Structure 1
Amino acid sequence: MGIVLGSNRYGKAETRVVRVDRDGDRHTLRDLNVSVALGGDLAATHLTGDNGTVLPTDTQKNTVYAFARRYGIATAEEFGLLLARHFVDSQPSITRSRIDIEQYAWQRLGGHSFQRDGAESRTATIRYGGTGVEVCAGLTGLVLLNSTDSEFRGYLTDAYTTLPETDDRILATAVDAHWRYATAEPPADGFDAAYEAVRDALVAAFVGTYSRSLQQTLYAMGQRVLTVRPDVVEIRLALPNKHHLLVDLTPFGLDNPNSVFVAADRPYGLIEGTVTRDDAAPALGQW
């Protein structure tokens, strides 16, 4: 039985780059965490230590900084496309690239003053294989809560079931969403506006859905995004169920009419799913 090298990739992870654009007294700030992963003709470096086809990860880091200066950072998606295409198109041994970007939000306090926003982070993933290119945008850590209009009942039970059914509960989650655009071209309204529209659709669906399960809410959120954004062909959602448990106050002679809860951070249910158009082209996928 032989031993062979399987799929592999390498790159520079989590290069922090901040770009400041100065337009008089009003400045614009972009704060990114960029990860590069490259694949291709890399067998020799694994099998014999020959590094002739390896572009150093330090070079990848430097490229991120140089591109931030040379081209600026219009959006995370466009910056990722520049990097993904550059590494494949400039190096014969590199045939595929993946760029993962997390963007940190800052609130403007003045012309050149900002406060770090503690809300969700914006993400982008670019995959490029020389011909096919794929742009996925996303967000992580969007914390949402409905204090009513949520129930959970009618589920399977067995000898180990202790969870009581409820027709009125708190539903809370921290949304992790990634959506794939139909093409790599910027949407007609631009990547920034598209991001805000998708975010608004996710929030609106969460707020407006009477939830019989978090699974139902997940589908409603994905369906809303695909309805309002024809340029999005698929959205993947991961929704942790951030449990809020009713506190027993009877030892203190007090009732608790759904008003006092303990927020439990773990363990938690994790609901994951993909909502897609039935005619969507297959994703390039991970490698």
Structure 2
Amino acid sequence: MKVVLGPNRYGKAETRVVRVVRDGAVHHIKDINVSSALSGAMEDVHLTGDNAAVLPTDTQKNTAYAFARKHGVGEIEDFALLLARHYVGSQPSIHHARVEIEEYFWDRIPVSDGRDERHSFVRSGREVRTCVVHHDRDGRTTVVSGLRDLVVLNSTGSEFHGYIEDEYTTLKPTTDRILATAVSARWRHVPDDSPSGGSRDFGESYAEVRRRLLEAFAETHSLSLQQTLHAMGERVLNARREVCEVRMAMPNKHHFLVDLEPFGMDNPNEVFYAADRPYGLIEGSVLADDAPDACFAWE
């Protein structure tokens, strides 16, 4: 039997970079987590242990730090593009670079004692902004922005009925339930040279996509979480020309009505038990009908 080397890549995972911009007494923070993965002419390192084609993962870590100082950290997509293009452009053995970045948000703590200093922050919720950039030596690039752990809840306006019932079904149909989920969404940007054009301001794009996702969640009378997922993706695609595909994973964070009859009390949809597992997991994608093919897999 002949054994051959299959697809492979290597890199530095989860390099935490915190960049402080000091604008006099006012400070600004960028808190990011950078992961890079490189592939190309790497046969020798696998087959014979020859490291001549390998850019060490420690070097990749140091590059993230150095670029944060040299170029600053603006929108995470722009920083990921900068790193990916550097790796491919500077090393002949590297044919493809994948850079993934997570961003953690901090809110400024207001002060009330009259001081001008503004350098105190509090971590903002659980939501994390994400991006994945792929770039290769042929100049092909894919940019995928996203977010995760965006926890949302509708206290009414959600139903679930008309589903398959067999001998194992115990779930009761309902026309009024709590609908809650933690949205993980990723959206693919059209290429720079696409006829559909669109914004290349990734900050504006992120804020507007997030707003459309929340609007659709709040404004959709839901008969299923699948319907809500589609409505959210559709709202984004109809509003943002720079986005051609949205992929979402939405766990159903179940809220079960508590039976208070043993205590002589009714429960008119007021007291619930919030279960953390098991949970339904709804996943899907929504595409523009003229969406260009992705250059690379999203992962």
TM-score normalised according to structure 2 size = 0.93
Distance 1:48 1:189, change over 3 A: closer
2:78 corresponds in structure 1 to 78
Aligned partner (choices 254, 278, 283) of residue 289 of structure 2: 278
1:148-193 superposed Cα distances (whole Å, 9 cap, x missing partner): 0000000011111111111100000000000011125996472111
Contact 2:199 2:242 (C-alpha < 8 Å) held by counterparts: no
2:99 is equivalent to residue 89 of structure 1: no
Structure 1 partner of 2:34: 34
* 1:174 paired residue number: 182
Residue number among 168, 175, 179 corresponding to 1:160 in the alignment = 168
Query: Is the CA contact (8 Å cut-off) linking 1:134 and 1:184 kept in structure 2?
Result: no
Q: In 1, are the aligned partners of 2:198 and 2:241 still within 8 Å (CA)?
A: no
- Counterparts of 1:176-215 in structure 2, within 5 Å, are 176-184=184-192, 188=199, 190-215=201-226
Matched length: 287
Provide the rounded CA distance (Å) in 2 between the counterparts of 1:173 and 1:219.
14
- Corresponding residue of 1:64: 64
8 Å CA contact retained: 2:200, 2:242: no
Q: In the TM superposition, what whole-angstrom CA distance separates every residue of 1:193-238 from its partner, at most 9, and x where no partner exists?
A: 1111111100000000000000000000000111111111111010
Partners of 2:2 and 2:255 in 1: CA distance: 53
Whole-Å separation in 1 of the counterparts to 2:86 and 2:99: 11
The question of whether the paired residues in 1 share the 8 Å contact of 2:222 and 2:228 is answered with yes
Unaligned runs of 5+ in 2: 111-117
1: CA distance between counterparts of 2:198 and 2:29?
Answer: 22
Amino acid at match of 2:259: D
Whole-angstrom CA distance in 2 between matches of 1:42 and 1:91: 12
* Superposition pairs of residues 108-123 of structure 1, within 5 angstroms: 108-110=108-110, 111-123=118-130
- Deviation string 1:130-149 (CA, Å, 9 cap, x unpaired) is 21011111000000000000
Letter in 1 for 2:173: E
1:189-268 alignment runs, 5 A limit: 190-268=201-279
TM-score (norm 1): 0.97
Residue identity (%): 59
Secondary structure of the corresponding residue to residue 49 of structure 1 = coil
Once residues 165 and 4 of structure 2 are traced to their aligned partners in structure 1, the CA distance between those partners, rounded to angstroms, is 47
- Secondary structure of 1:14's counterpart equals strand
Provide Cα deviations, 1:82-106, integer angstroms capped at 9, x if missing partner: 0000111111111011111000000
TM superposition shift of 1:119: 3.3
2: CA distance between counterparts of 1:203 and 1:181? Answer: 19
CA distance in 1, matches of 2:40, 2:200: 35
Cα distance in 2 between the residues matched to 1:84 and 1:103? 17
Aligned-residue CA RMSD (Å): 1.4
- Farther-moved stretch of structure 1 (242-251 vs 215-224): 242-251
- Secondary structure of the 2:38 match is strand
- Write out the 4+ residue segments of structure 1 that deviate beyond 3 Å after TM superposition: 184-189
